[in-house]
Structure 1
Amino acid sequence: MRVLLFANTDWFLWNFKLPLARALRAAGHEVILLSPAGEFGARLRNEGFDWRAFALSRSGIHPLEEARAMRRLLALYRAVRPDLVHHFTIKCVLYGSWAARRANVARVVNSITGLGFALLGTSLKARLIRPVVVGFYRRSLIGTQVIFQNHDNRDTLAAFGALTHASVHVIPGDGVDVEAFCPPQPRVAGANVLMMGRLLWSKGVGVFVEAARIVRAARPNARFLLAGAPDSGNPESVPDAVLEQWRAEGVVEFLGHRSDVRELQQQADIAVLASTQGEGMPRALLEAAACGRPMVATDVPGSRELVEDGVNGLLVPAGDAKALAQAVLALLEAPERACAMGAAARRKVLAELSDDRIIARTLDVYFPLAGGA
């Protein structure tokens, strides 16, 4: 079969969907990868894949420009004639489903990895475009296979009436390479508290900084590390002026975008995610868990599916810097408990969330009558 995977960045395809693409190719299927152009397109081609660039604005809402993008996508689908398409990220889901229906694509799979700014945001822009996005979801998902990464997101979209005529599945996350992301040996325990993610208010960056102030007042040796870059295309991005103030304060070490993710996770003593609006299945925590790191996360969709409070980490209320600080201090002051939680985190990943397990479940959605083959 000819299978097309469509995402809003080539970075997403490279970091999250390369194992799936390899599995499809190994099973004998022709794989086409589609995304806007970026630095990872060449890497995908070097892996032997047919990667194609497709111009798509992540944040654009101009009606004429978006209509042109949809028409271009329809022309591409008619030219390529895929047997199955799998869309990732919101615009790709909405526009891709529209194009696939008109191009008579036999099987359409949509991954809802998060509900995003339009459905979760509180700004005027979010409120204005929400009815349009919900209406688009209702029409786009008819007759498609829809994969959610957590039950909360599924239930929220179902409450909008968008899933009435869709086949719905919950598959927790994109999977993780448990051979690459593994506990380091040997390792000396320290006080490194790591958070990874884009520098967005909705990721809880401000909460993380405030928690760092509280913890370091009690434990000056604690290091709070934040790996991630601003996202200028997102209205939730923390302004540069605020970031400069935080850097000057020095309570948090801003590492910027990093490619040595595994090494950072292995050097961490505690992995934190302070999201205020929820995730699909947070990749940063998933990789930390695979490395045997105890987790502290906010009790929001996605994170609560991975973090079992008191078992492999601690859950705290969203937006509560004091509670986040208290949870971090509790683990720093009880290293044996933290170590046991890290071991439990690794066991959960091995049992439920490895690349192999997630890919097998995804292929069962693609080819249900063939048992994933």
Structure 2
Amino acid sequence: MDIKKNPVFVMVLNGVTYFLSHRLPIAQELRHQGYEVHIVSPDPKPADFEQYGFIYHQAPMSRKGVNPFTEWLAIARIFKIFKAIQPNLVHLVTIKPYLYGSIAARLARVPSVVSAVAGLGIIFSQSNFKTKLLRAVLYSLFKVAFGHKNQNVIFQNKDDKQALVDWINLAESKITVIRGAGADLNQYPYLPESDNSQPVIAFAARLLKDKGVEQFVEASRLLKERGVAAKFWLIGEPDAGNANTVTQQQLDEWQQAGLVECLGYRTDIPQLFTQANIVSLPSFYGEGLPKVLIEAAACGRAVVTTDWPGCRDAITPNETGLLVPIKDSVALADAIQTLIEDEALRHKMGKAGRKLAEDVFDVNKVVEQHMNIYKTLERTA
């Protein structure tokens, strides 16, 4: 008598920390539905990972590597995992996993593939000679990556979607737009602003120049020169593996000048946002849809961000927050000052942000959208 095997699901990501912060609820729901869930990332398995009931595979994959032999070796490792466990469905998240994982999936004859475009990074956010050359080199790889016959491609914003539709003629029938990874509205409660002696403006992200850290600090300088009292929090840490990171020396200088308070890497973002009055992310990075802006909305905090793909998709302009041009410290300072001085507007935007989170960003709705995609692919496999 044959024993029916549970369906096998594999998620491939560029880091286990990202999985835990952005995709854990999806994997948990699949396990609840009876799937055997495997997680693949280049990181060592965390000590407490067994608690989730997933099977973990470490597959080294350099974020910045360009050595052809090393990159093909990464594809081979993923292929070996797919061949060994024979998944019914794989979900590939971020650029290298969906480029390399898609090749491995086609070679291993995986029936169904989901490719999650969580931002296009500098490949499309910059137009210098280097990135144009990189796009030319990667064109064929992208065509292969999105060429599986039973595939759904998830975008977080319409700009990224249109970029790939135009570039590689990606079929609309393969596309779903889901605005971000969602937030657990119970973990990010909507509470009244703290009674701060000075308004607190919070920035929470990897401390990369493309995230607008320098513009955030310059806005603080401008407001101090105008006599506007406020505290500017930098929540995060430098990324040593990224050429665009700010340095610890810069952080020390900014803090010594009284421009920012550097809080470092933190896991208590809900509590910090409860203490903040405004959340700002002046990014010009190739964002998908920044989770920090979803979390700000859930906590009922007005947002100041940039009129840039992903960032502008995370707010309702002039209702839940304000948009400013990229790389414009003066406009950023002006917008922050507006919200500092107009408390009624700030509170109104915070309330509208919470409503937006309930309507669009609730993680339960995001998980449900993913389940619908998986079921559709499995029916057509």
- Scaled by the length of structure 2, what TM-score is found? 0.92
Deviates more, 1:332-341 or 1:120-129: 120-129
| Counterpart Cα distance in 1 of 2:260 and 2:345 | 25
Contact 1:150/1:172, CA 8 A, preserved across alignment = yes
- Equivalent position amino acid for 2:220 in 1: A
Q: CA deviation at 1:193?
A: 0.2
| Counterpart Cα distance in 2 of 1:26 and 1:198 | 32
| Counterpart Cα distance in 1 of 2:267 and 2:73 | 35
> Which residue, out of 77, 98, 103, partners 1:72?
77
| Counterpart Cα distance in 2 of 1:263 and 1:140 | 40
- Scaled by the length of structure 1, what TM-score is found? 0.94
Say whether 1:120 aligns with 2:125. Answer: yes
Say whether 1:178 aligns with 2:185. Answer: yes
Say whether 1:344 aligns with 2:334. Answer: no
Q: CA deviation at 1:233?
A: 1.9
Q: Which residue of 1 aligns with 2:164?
A: 157
Contact 1:134/1:162, CA 8 A, preserved across alignment = no
Contact 2:193/2:275, CA 8 A, preserved across alignment = no
Say whether 1:249 aligns with 2:257. Answer: yes
* Closer, same or farther: CA 219–2 of 1 in aligned 2, 3 Å: farther
Q: CA deviation at 1:130?
A: 2.2
Contact 1:223/1:252, CA 8 A, preserved across alignment = yes
| Counterpart Cα distance in 1 of 2:116 and 2:205 | 20
> Which residue, out of 267, 271, 281, partners 1:263?
271
Q: Which residue of 1 aligns with 2:26?
A: 20
Equivalences for 1:141-220 in 2 at 5 Å?
141-143=146-148, 144-164=151-171, 167-184=174-191, 187-188=194-195, 190-220=198-228
Once the two structures are superposed, what CA deviation does each residue of 1:17-59 show, in whole Å capped at 9, x if it has no partner?
A: 1111111111111111111224x63333222221221111111
Contact 2:228/2:337, CA 8 A, preserved across alignment = no
Contact 2:79/2:108, CA 8 A, preserved across alignment = yes
- Equivalent position amino acid for 1:48 in 2: G
Contact 2:28/2:52, CA 8 A, preserved across alignment = no
| Counterpart Cα distance in 2 of 1:139 and 1:69 | 16
Structure with the larger RCO, 1 or 2 (CA within 8 Å, 6+ apart): 2
Q: CA deviation at 1:165?
A: 8.2
Q: CA deviation at 1:338?
A: 0.3
Contact 1:295/1:313, CA 8 A, preserved across alignment = yes
Q: CA deviation at 1:159?
A: 1.7
| Counterpart Cα distance in 1 of 2:183 and 2:217 | 28
**Secondary structure in 1 aligned to 2:203?**
strand
Say whether 1:228 aligns with 2:207. Answer: no
| Counterpart Cα distance in 1 of 2:134 and 2:58 | 27
- Equivalent position amino acid for 1:20 in 2: I
Q: CA deviation at 1:185?
A: 5.3
| Counterpart Cα distance in 2 of 1:309 and 1:332 | 17
Once the two structures are superposed, what CA deviation does each residue of 1:247-282 show, in whole Å capped at 9, x if it has no partner?
A: 332201121111111111111100001001342111
Contact 1:281/1:306, CA 8 A, preserved across alignment = yes
| Counterpart Cα distance in 2 of 1:268 and 1:324 | 17
What are the ranges of 5 or more consecutive residues in structure 1 without an aligned counterpart? Answer: none
Once the two structures are superposed, what CA deviation does each residue of 1:213-241 show, in whole Å capped at 9, x if it has no partner?
A: 11122345300001111112222212444
Q: Which residue of 2 aligns with 1:321?
A: 329
Q: CA deviation at 1:320?
A: 0.7
| Counterpart Cα distance in 2 of 1:75 and 1:162 | 30
Deviates more, 1:88-97 or 1:248-257: 248-257
Contact 1:151/1:170, CA 8 A, preserved across alignment = yes
Q: CA deviation at 1:163?
A: 1.3
Q: Which residue of 1 aligns with 2:363?
A: 355
Once the two structures are superposed, what CA deviation does each residue of 1:49-76 show, in whole Å capped at 9, x if it has no partner?
A: 2122111111111111111111121111
Equivalences for 1:253-292 in 2 at 5 Å?
253-292=261-300
State the Cα RMSD in Å: 1.9
Deviates more, 1:181-190 or 1:1-10: 181-190
* Closer, same or farther: CA 122–104 of 1 in aligned 2, 3 Å: same
| Counterpart Cα distance in 1 of 2:173 and 2:100 | 16
Contact 1:37/1:54, CA 8 A, preserved across alignment = yes
Q: Which residue of 2 aligns with 1:140?
A: 145
- Equivalent position amino acid for 2:183 in 1: V
Aligned residues: 370
What are the ranges of 5 or more consecutive residues in structure 2 without an aligned counterpart? Answer: 1-6
* Closer, same or farther: CA 245–114 of 1 in aligned 2, 3 Å: same
Q: Which residue of 1 aligns with 2:3?
A: none
Deviates more, 1:150-159 or 1:112-121: 112-121
Of all paired residues, the percent bearing the same amino acid is: 35
* Closer, same or farther: CA 274–124 of 1 in aligned 2, 3 Å: same
Segments of 4+ moved more than 6 angstroms: none
| Counterpart Cα distance in 2 of 1:250 and 1:346 | 32
| Counterpart Cα distance in 1 of 2:41 and 2:377 | 29
Once the two structures are superposed, what CA deviation does each residue of 1:54-113 show, in whole Å capped at 9, x if it has no partner?
A: 111111111111111111211111111110000001000000000000100000000001
Contact 2:193/2:277, CA 8 A, preserved across alignment = no
| Counterpart Cα distance in 1 of 2:377 and 2:93 | 23
